[in-house]
């Protein structure tokens, strides 16, 4: 292929014509202004995107001493104590085991079902044989309580139910109710929300637990428009 010699250079002619047509720089200045407006709008959007639209918090965290007066106002909590063996196992693993079994077994489960479920969760948690045997007794005792019996007869029952309530400062508080069920309340009905606790002693943490259940009460009342009361079942 032969090259064409002495060809007139055309590179950049389009750009040159555009510049000649904008000799007064009106278009380029307008382009700069458009860019600046875009940049300001973009920076504003980025800044707005960095600001959370919802503040989330866990109910147990809000029930700490720092926020307790704010979230616990008006909370009335009934404490029900079940008999317990002295010197029994305690701690996070034991409490987790008991809660896991109570969340899984039927409320009218018999001893064999409780034992089988306890052994299943014990393997996943690495619980000791002593913890397993005591957990079976603790769960069986809880299921035999008049409180759980009332839940079995209730019109509606909720277990391990997620709850959420918006606080005055816009914080969305979330928690999980161990057990909730309806009960007659005059001509209407109300809710009973129950929280299981396996602590050796609850006295030192009672204000915290009241605040936690107070949040649950507010969430249920807001969600249903019905009355609610709270019970701490110390098992």
pLDDT digits (tens, 9 = 90+) for 145-198: 999 999 999 999 999 999 998 888 888 889 999 999 999 876 778 999 999 999
What residues make up the domain containing 109? 86-144
- The reply to whether 218 falls in a domain is yes
- The reply to whether 176 falls in a domain is yes
Confidence of residue 6 (pLDDT cuts 50, 70, 90): confident
CA-based nearest residue to 215, from 103, 65, 56, 60: 60
- What's the total number of domains in the chain? 2
So what's the pLDDT on residue 47?
84
pLDDT digits (tens, 9 = 90+) for 106-127: 999 999 999 999 999 999 999 9
Give the mean pLDDT of the chain: 85
So what's the pLDDT on residue 27?
67
Q: Report the C-alpha gap between 66 and 179 in whole angstroms.
A: 27
- Give the up-direction half-sphere exposure of residue 66: CA atoms within 13 A in the CB hemisphere: 4
Same domain? 92 vs 109? yes
Same domain? 168 vs 112? no
The whole model's pTM is what? 0.72
Range of 8-12, 41-45, 133-137 with top mean pLDDT: 133-137
């Amino acid at each position: 292929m032969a090259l064409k010699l002495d060809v007139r250079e055309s590179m950049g002619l389009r750009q040159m014509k555009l510049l000649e047509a904008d000799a007064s720089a009106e278009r380029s200045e307008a382009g700069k202004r458009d860019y600046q407006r875009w940049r300001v709008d973009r920076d504003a959007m980025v800044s707005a995107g960095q600001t959370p639209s919802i503040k989330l918090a866990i109910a147990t965290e809000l029930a700490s001493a720092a926020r307790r007066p704010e979230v616990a106002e008006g909370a009335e909590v009934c404490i029900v104590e079940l008999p317990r063996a002295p010197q029994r196992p305690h701690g996070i693993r034991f409490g987790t085991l008991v809660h896991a079994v109570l969340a899984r077994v039927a409320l009218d489960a018999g001893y064999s079902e409780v034992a089988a479920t306890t052994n299943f969760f014990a393997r996943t948690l690495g619980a000791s044989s002593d913890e397993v045997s005591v957990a079976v007794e603790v769960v069986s005792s809880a299921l035999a309580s008049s409180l759980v019996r009332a839940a079995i007869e209730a019109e509606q029952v909720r277990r391990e139910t997620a709850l959420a309530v918006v606080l005055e400062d816009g914080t969305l508080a979330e928690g999980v109710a161990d057990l909730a069920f309806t009960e007659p309340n005059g001509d209407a009905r109300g809710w009973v929300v129950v929280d299981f606790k396996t602590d050796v002693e609850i006295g030192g943490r009672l204000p915290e637990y009241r605040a936690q259940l107070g949040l649950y009460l507010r969430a249920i009342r807001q969600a249903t428009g019905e009355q609610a009361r709270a019970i701490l079942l110390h098992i």
